[in-house]
Amino acid sequence: MTNLHKMAEPKFIQRQKRGVRITITVLLMFIVAVLVGFVHKLSQPRILSDSELRINGAVKLQRARILDNFQLIADTGSAFETKNMKGQWTFIFFGFTHCPDVCPTTLSSLNSFYKLLDEDIRADTDVILVSVDPARDKPLILHDYVRYFNNDFLGVTGNFIEIKRFASQLNVPFNKVILDNNDYTMDHGSQVVLINPLGHYHAFFRAPLDPAKMKLTYRSIRATFNG
Give the CA distances from residue 7 to residues 1, 11, 15, 20, in Å, rounded to whole numbers and listed in that order: 10, 8, 14, 22
Residue 41, pLDDT above cutoff 50: no
Residue 195, pLDDT above cutoff 80: yes
Q: Is the dihedral of CA 16, 21, 22, 27 positive or negative?
A: positive
pLDDT average, residue stretch 46-52:
94
The C-alpha atoms of residue 146 and residue 128 are separated, in whole angstroms, by: 9
pLDDT average, residue stretch 205-216:
97
Q: Provide the 3-class DSSP secondary structure of residue 40.
A: helix
The C-alpha atoms of residue 16 and residue 4 are separated, in whole angstroms, by: 19
CB contact at 8 A, 211 and 218: no
Rounded (10°) CA dihedral 165, 167, 173, 179: -80
- What pLDDT score was predicted for residue 45? 77
pTM of the model: 0.81
